[in-house]
Structure 1
Amino acid sequence: MDFRIESDSIGEKKVPKSAYYGINTLRAADNFKITGLKIHEEFIKSIVEIKKAAAITNEGIGLLGEHIKETIVKACDEIIEGKFKDQFITDPIQGGAGTSINMNVNEVVSNRSIELLGGEKGNYNIVNPNDHVNMGQSTNDVIPTAGKITTIKLILRCIKQLKILKKVFKEKAEEFNDIIKMGRTQLQDAVPIRLGQEFNAYSSVIKRDILRLNQVIESLKEVNIGGTAIGTGINTDMRYQIKIIPNLSKITQIQLNQAEDLIDSTQNLDSLVITSSVIRTCAVNLSKIANDLRLMSSGPRTGFGEINLPAKQNGSSIMPGKVNPVIPEVINQIAFNIIGNDVTINMAAEAGQLELNAFEPIMFFNLFQSIETLTNGINTFVENCVQGITANRKRCKGLLENSIGILTALCPYVGYKEAAEIAKRAMNTGESVRKIILREKILDEREVNSILNTVDMTKPRISRKYAVYK
C-alpha cells in the first residue's frame, strides 16, 4: 500500500495514499477501538450539511473564495448522496466531545475538494480541513447541532411508524367492539370489558406518544451553531451568526432556531435528556401492550387464550408444535435496552463540566440506537403481529360466563355484603352466579337479565334502584 506523510502538533503519521481521511482521523481510529461499529450514517450527513451551510455562509460574507466554496459544496453533496461511506472510520464512542468525527468529516470533505480541484490528497494548501472546511465552527457547536438534526430526522421516521400502529389498533378496536370478555386487575377477574375497548386504549396511548414526540422535536430545533468553542462565538463573524441558521435550515429542510443563550446551549444538554425520556416512555408503553398481548394469547389451551397472535416461527427446538409470541417479546427487549440507554444519557448529561459536556458521543450513540430500534420494532410489531391478531370469541364468552366478576354489577341492587356472600357460594359450589340468585330468589329473572347484561356492564348506565339507600 502506498502512503502519504501527514503531520500535526503531535508528530507525523503514514496515511494511505488513497484515503480521503487524514492524520486526525487515523489517530482516532487507533485510539478508539471500542464498539467496532460505524458512526450513524444520518449523523455523518448532518455534520456534512453543516459544512455545506458554513461554506455557503462564509462565501456569502466574503470570507471564503467562491471556487473553494463551490468545491466544498460539491464534495458535501456527494457525501450526502451516499458516496465515501467507507472513509468515515472513527468509532461512535470516542473521547474529545466528538472532535474525531468532526475532523473525519473535515478531512474527507477537504481531500475530496482538493481532488476535484486537480490536486493530490493531503495537499492542504489547496483546501484546508480546519481553515476552510471548519471555518467559523468548532466541534462544540457542530456536534450538538448535527446530533439534534439527526435526532429530529430519526424521530420523524418513528412518528410515521407510530401513526400506522395507532391506525391498526383503532381498526382492531372496531373489529373487536362486540366481543365481551372479563377485564382483570392484578391478574384477577374484575368486571366485563369489550375487547375493542382494550384495543382502543392502546390506540389512545400511542396517540399521546406521538404528541410528546412532536413536542420534543420543537425543543430540538434550538441549536448552538455559531457559538463555536464555548458559546461566545469566538472566530466567527457577526454576519455568519445571522446567516448560518437560515442557510442550514434550507439545506436540512428543518426550520432551526439559534439558541437565545449560546453559552447555555453549549454547556447544557437537557433537551437530549427530555428526548430520551420521551423515547423511553413510548418504549415502556409499547412493552406494556406487548405484555398484554402475550397474556391474552397465552396457552393456547391452558392460558387465557382470548386472542390469537400470528404464528411466525417454531417456538422450540424440543417441543413440537410450540409457537411463541416472538414479536411481543422483541418489543419487550427493545424497551429494556432503551431504558438502559436512557440511564446512560442521564448520567452523561449530568457529568458535563463548566462550559462543555464532553460526553456527547455516548449520548448520541445511545439516543440514535434507541430511536432506531424503537422504529424498527414498531414496524415489525405492525406487520408481523398486530395486523394479524384474531379474537377467540367462544373462549372470551366462556370465561366471562364462568366468572364471578359480574357480581360487581349487583352491588347497587343487593349491597356489597350480599354480593360477596353470593360470590363465596359460587366459588365453593361451582354454580353460576345467575343460578344462585334465581334459586335463592334474591332477584327475579327479569331483574337478573337486566342487571347482568354484560354489554351494559361495559359502560355507565342509570340504575333503577340502589339497595344501600333503602
Structure 2
Amino acid sequence: MGEKAVPDDAWYGIHTCRSLENFDAAGEVLPLSIVSAIVRLKAACAAANEQLGLLDPDCASAIRKACRAILAGGYDDQFPIDIFQAGSGTSTQMNVNEVIANLAAVELGGQRGDRRRVHPNDHVNKGQSTNNIFPSAIRLAAVELNRHLAKAVAGLVASLEEKADAFAQVPKSGRTHLQDAVPITLGQEFAAYARSLEKARARLAAAADTLLEIGVGGNAVGTGINTPPAFRSLIVAALNQSTGFSFRVAENGVEITQFMTDMGQMSASLRLLAMDLLKMTNDLRLLASGPYTGIAEIRLPPVEPGSSIMPGKVNPSICEAANMACIQVAGYDAAVAMACGLGQLELNTHMPLIGANLIKAFEVLTRTVTMLDMRCIRGIEADAAVCQRNFESSAGLATILNPALGYDRVAALVKEGLASGKNLKTLVLEKQLMNKAALDELLAGAFGPNES
C-alpha cells in the first residue's frame, strides 16, 4: 500500500498509522484491559514458540520483556485505535504487535522499525491470527475483571446480611402489587436482597468458567494451520503460569472461532446482576420515600443536598445513580447479544464491539456495587416505630386472622377498619374475638419458622 510516515515518538508502526486514519466512529479507544490481555497472550505465544524451537531465545526473551514493560503501564498511550474497527480486531492486534516488536528491537540493540531484528508479523505474531488472539483476549480480560466484580458483590452481600441480622426483629407490612400483604420483617427483606446477589455471583462464576476455554493458537479459522500440534497446549500452559488461572484448550477450535455465545452468556449474567440491583435499589427508594408523606420505613444515609430550591430535601441519590448504571449495563448487553448473532460462516466480525461492551459492563457494575455498599447499604437505618405502625395497620393481617376467625368475619373487619380508621388488631380486641395473649401469639407466628 506504499510508504507512510510514522511519528518519531511512536512505538507503533505503519499499520497503526493507517488504522488511525481509517477509524474514528466511536471516538473512543478500545479498553486497555483487552490490550493488556492481548499482550499477555503474546508473551505466552513467544514462550511456546521458543519451546518448540521456532523462535530464537534472544528474540523470545526480548518479546517477553517488551510485554512486561507494556503491562507495567508505561506505554498506555501507544494503543490509540478506535473501538469500531475491522470486525476481527486486526487493527488493535497489529498495533500491539508493532509496539512489542519495536520495544524488543531496541532491547536487542536495534532501532524502532528494525523489522530484521524483530518483525511484528513473523516474530511477535508467529503462529497466531487476530481471529483467535482477539476473542481469547476478551475471555482473559473478562475472567480477570470478574474476579474484581465477585469480590465487590461479596462485600455488598455481607453488608446486606448484616442489615438482615440487625433488622431481624423489626416487623412490618409486606406488600404485593404495591398493596398491603401479609406481614414480614425488615430483616427478611434484606436477607432476600443478599440471597439474590449470591445467586447472581454464582451465575457469573458459571459464565466465567466457560470463558476459560480459549481458541488461541487456532489461527485463521480454528484449525491450527501452520502451527505444530503442541502449540496450543504450550500457549495455555504459559498463560496459566503467568496469570494463575486455569485456561484450557478449546474442545473445538472451529466452533470457538465462529461463535461468541460464551461471551454473550457472560454479558447476560452481568445484565441479570444489574436487574437484581435495579429491583433492590428501587425497593430502597420506595421504602425510604417521604419522609412524611411516603412509606418511610427506612432512612438512607444522606450524601448531598437534594434540591437547589427546597431547603432540607434529601434525595436517594446513590440509588438513582445505581439505577442509571444498571440501565446502561442492559444496553451494553443488548448490543453484545445482537453482535453475537451476527457472525458469518467461519468468523464473527463484531468482536471489538462485544469486547468493549463486556468490559464496560464489568467496570460499571464493579464501581456501582462498591458505591452501593459503601455509600448506601452500610448507612441504612430502620424506623422501627413506622414499621410497627404499618404492621399493625396492614390489611394483610386479615390473612393471619383467617384460620382463627374465618374468611367472612375477617372480611367484615377489614371493611369496618377502612370505614372507622381502626386497625384490625384494635377491632379484634374491642370485639373480644380473641384475647391479647392469643392474638399476640398468632401474630408472632406470621413471619415464618426462621423468625421469633
What TM bracket, shorter-length normalisation? Answer: over 0.9
CA contact (8 A) 2:233 2:249 kept: no
Q: Which residue of structure 2 lines up, in the alignment, with residue 166 of structure 1?
A: 157
User: C-alpha offsets along residues 345-404 of structure 1, whole Å, 9 cap, x if unaligned?
Assistant: 111011100000010100011110111100000011011000000111111112222223
Cα gap change, 1:439/1:398 in structure 2, threshold over 3 Å: closer, same or farther?
closer
- Aligned partner (choices 437, 441, 447) of residue 458 of structure 1: 447
Secondary structure class of the residue paired with 2:4: strand
Q: Which residue of structure 2 lines up, in the alignment, with residue 222 of structure 1?
A: 213
Q: Which residue of structure 2 lines up, in the alignment, with residue 396 of structure 1?
A: 387
Secondary structure class of the residue paired with 2:49: helix
The residue identity in structure 2 corresponding to 1:459 is: G
In 2, the alpha carbon distance for the partners of 1:445 and 1:253 equals: 63
In 1, the alpha carbon distance for the partners of 2:428 and 2:84 equals: 69
- Aligned partner (choices 237, 240, 246) of residue 249 of structure 1: 240
Q: Which residue of structure 2 lines up, in the alignment, with residue 266 of structure 1?
A: 257
CA contact (8 A) 2:212 2:246 kept: yes
Which structure 2 residue ranges, 5 or more long, are not aligned? none
Secondary structure class of the residue paired with 1:437: helix
Give, in angstroms, the shift of residue 311 of structure 1: 0.4
Q: Which residue of structure 1 lines up, in the alignment, with residue 291 of structure 2?
A: 300
Secondary structure class of the residue paired with 2:27: coil
Secondary structure class of the residue paired with 1:15: coil
Is 1:437 equivalent to 2:432 in the alignment?
Answer: no
The residue identity in structure 1 corresponding to 2:189 is: E
Q: Which residue of structure 1 lines up, in the alignment, with residue 19 of structure 2?
A: 28
Cα gap change, 1:292/1:268 in structure 2, threshold over 3 Å: closer, same or farther?
same
CA contact (8 A) 2:215 2:257 kept: yes
Q: Which residue of structure 1 lines up, in the alignment, with residue 266 of structure 2?
A: 275
Q: Which residue of structure 1 lines up, in the alignment, with residue 361 of structure 2?
A: 370
Q: Which residue of structure 1 lines up, in the alignment, with residue 166 of structure 2?
A: 175
Matches within 5 A, 1:179-190: 179-190=170-181
Is 1:135 equivalent to 2:123 in the alignment?
Answer: no
Cα gap change, 1:449/1:163 in structure 2, threshold over 3 Å: closer, same or farther?
closer
CA contact (8 A) 2:30 2:352 kept: no
- Aligned partner (choices 80, 83, 102) of residue 89 of structure 1: 80
The residue identity in structure 2 corresponding to 1:359 is: H
Q: Which residue of structure 1 lines up, in the alignment, with residue 275 of structure 2?
A: 284
Secondary structure class of the residue paired with 1:193: strand
Q: Which residue of structure 2 lines up, in the alignment, with residue 157 of structure 1?
A: 148
In 1, the alpha carbon distance for the partners of 2:104 and 2:428 equals: 88
The residue identity in structure 2 corresponding to 1:266 is: T
In 2, the alpha carbon distance for the partners of 1:448 and 1:64 equals: 83
Alpha-carbon RMSD across the aligned residues, in angstroms, is 1.4
CA contact (8 A) 1:176 1:194 kept: yes
- Bigger relative contact order, structure 1 or 2, given CA contacts below 8 A and separation 6+? 2
Is 1:101 equivalent to 2:95 in the alignment?
Answer: no
Give, in angstroms, the shift of residue 37 of structure 1: 2.4
Is 1:380 equivalent to 2:371 in the alignment?
Answer: yes
User: C-alpha offsets along residues 228-281 of structure 1, whole Å, 9 cap, x if unaligned?
Assistant: 000111121223233121112112221110111100110111101111111111
The residue identity in structure 2 corresponding to 1:69 is: A
In 1, the alpha carbon distance for the partners of 2:402 and 2:375 equals: 43
In 1, the alpha carbon distance for the partners of 2:103 and 2:145 equals: 28
Secondary structure class of the residue paired with 1:353: coil
Which structure 1 residue ranges, 5 or more long, are not aligned? 1-9, 462-470
The residue identity in structure 1 corresponding to 2:97 is: N
The residue identity in structure 2 corresponding to 1:98 is: G
The residue identity in structure 1 corresponding to 2:106 is: E
Secondary structure class of the residue paired with 2:5: strand
Secondary structure class of the residue paired with 1:255: coil
Secondary structure class of the residue paired with 2:173: strand
CA contact (8 A) 1:273 1:349 kept: yes
User: C-alpha offsets along residues 156-188 of structure 1, whole Å, 9 cap, x if unaligned?
Assistant: 100000010111111111111111111111111
In 2, the alpha carbon distance for the partners of 1:67 and 1:271 equals: 37
CA contact (8 A) 2:49 2:231 kept: yes
How many pairs align? 450
Is 1:72 equivalent to 2:75 in the alignment?
Answer: no
CA contact (8 A) 1:145 1:224 kept: yes
Is 1:421 equivalent to 2:412 in the alignment?
Answer: yes
- Aligned partner (choices 115, 125, 138) of residue 124 of structure 1: 115
CA contact (8 A) 2:217 2:227 kept: yes
Is 1:356 equivalent to 2:347 in the alignment?
Answer: yes
CA contact (8 A) 2:172 2:186 kept: yes
CA contact (8 A) 1:93 1:365 kept: no
Q: Which residue of structure 1 lines up, in the alignment, with residue 199 of structure 2?
A: 208
CA contact (8 A) 2:417 2:423 kept: yes
The residue identity in structure 1 corresponding to 2:160 is: F
Secondary structure class of the residue paired with 1:190: strand
The residue identity in structure 2 corresponding to 1:289 is: M
Q: Which residue of structure 2 lines up, in the alignment, with residue 191 of structure 1?
A: 182
User: C-alpha offsets along residues 262-310 of structure 1, whole Å, 9 cap, x if unaligned?
Assistant: 0011011110111111111111001111011101101111111111111
Give, in angstroms, the shift of residue 138 of structure 1: 0.2
Give, in angstroms, the shift of residue 330 of structure 1: 1.4
The residue identity in structure 2 corresponding to 1:158 is: L
What fraction of aligned residue pairs are identical, expressed as a percent? Answer: 39
Secondary structure class of the residue paired with 1:367: helix
Structure 1, 100-109 or 121-130: larger mean CA deviation: 121-130
In 1, the alpha carbon distance for the partners of 2:262 and 2:269 equals: 11
In 2, the alpha carbon distance for the partners of 1:438 and 1:313 equals: 46
Give, in angstroms, the shift of residue 445 of structure 1: 4.4
In 1, the alpha carbon distance for the partners of 2:235 and 2:427 equals: 79
The residue identity in structure 2 corresponding to 1:61 is: L
